[in-house]
Amino acid sequence: MMLPFSISGPRRPRYLLEEVKKAIRDGRYWITRHAGLDAASLYLDEDDIKHCVLKLEEHHFFKTMPSTRIPGLNQDVYKCRYGGLPIYTKLQIGREGQAVVISFKRDESA
């Protein structure tokens, strides 16, 4: 079994994107309330969030940052376009192997 972690570096994600996608496809994911509310403000729902994450590619990776709530966990930030909107999303794999969508909002820097 492949571990869901990559070798972190200044421009490398902490988590393997394919492992995040697999967890979502397998239904092993959750979306934070904050991410859900931000998506709703863009008229997007849970299915949109899932479809967007499943369409992410390695070149969408922006940076890795430490979790502000759980010491020792990191979050990978991806920037992409979905439905014509610039999207900023933070993803992580939880301690039990589930994908977590921490943030899903309009990318204000785009």
Q: What percent of the chain has pLDDT over 90?
A: 79
Q: Please tell me the predicted confidence (pLDDT) of residue 5.
A: 54
Q: Please tell me the predicted confidence (pLDDT) of residue 72.
A: 80
CATH number of 102's domain = 3.30.2310.40
pLDDT of 50-71, one tens digit each? 999 999 999 999 999 998 888 8
In a domain, 9, yes or no: no
Which residues of the chain are modeled with pLDDT < 50?
1-3
Per the structure, the complete domain to which residue 62 belongs is given by 17-106
Q: What percent of the chain has pLDDT over 70?
A: 91
- How many whole angstroms separate alpha carbon 8 and alpha carbon 66? 12
- 8 A C-beta contact, residue 92 and residue 74: yes
How many domains does one find in the chain?
1
DSSP for 68-83, written as a single string: SSSTT-EEEEEEEEET
